Copies of this chain bind each other. A is one copy, B any other.
Amino acid sequence: MNIDTICIVGVGLIGGSFAQALKHTGFKGTVVGVVRDKAKGVEATRLGIVDTATTDLKAAASTADVIMLAVPMLSMREQLELIAPVLQAHTIVTDAGSVKKPFEVDARACLPFLNRVVPGHPIAGKEKSGLEAVDPHLYETHRILLTPLKETDNDAIDVVRSLWEQVGGVVETLSAEHLDNALAATSHLPHVLAFAMVDTLASRQEIKEVFRYAAGGFRDFTRIASGETIMWRDICLTNKEPIVEAISEFEAHLATLKKAILDDDADTIGTVFRRAKDARDLHLGIKS
Contact = CB atoms under 8 A, between A and B. Distances in A.
Given A187-B215, A202-B276, A286 B197 contact: no
Q: Which of A127, A208, A277 has the most CB of B within 10 A?
A: A277
Nearest to A222: B280
B264 A200 contact: no
Contact of A243 (B200, B203, B261, B277): B261
Interface stretch (A110-118, A149-157, A158-166, A249-257): A249-257
Given A197-B193, A218-B187, A225 B277 contact: yes
Nearest to A223: B220
Give the number of copies in the complex.
Answer: 2
Interface in A209-244: 209-227, 229-230, 232-233, 236-237, 240, 243-244
Contacts of A145: 213
Contacts of A143: 212-213
Contacts of A192: 254, 257, 261
Given A179-B213, A214-B284, A251-B251, A266 B197 contact: no
Contacts of A262: 240, 244
Nearest to A194: B221
A21 B194 CA distance: 34
Given A125-B216, A206-B182, A223-B220, A237 B275 contact: no
Interface string A257-288: 11001101010011011111101110110111
A215 B186 contact: yes
A195 interface: yes
Q: Which of A219, A237, A254 has the most CB of B within 10 A?
A: A254
A220 B210 contact: no
A145 B215 CA distance: 12
Interface residues of A, number: 92
Nearest to A234: B266
A23 interface: no
Interface string A159-201: 0000000000000000000010011011101111111111111
B224 A221 contact: yes
B219 A284 contact: yes
B211 A237 contact: no
23 contacts: A123-B215, A125-B217, A127-B217, A142-B215, A179-B213, A182-B209, A182-B210, A186-B218, A187-B214, A187-B218, A189-B197, A195-B257, A196-B250, A198-B279, A198-B280, A203-B253, A207-B283, A219-B284, A220-B223, A230-B270, A233-B266, A233-B273, A243-B261
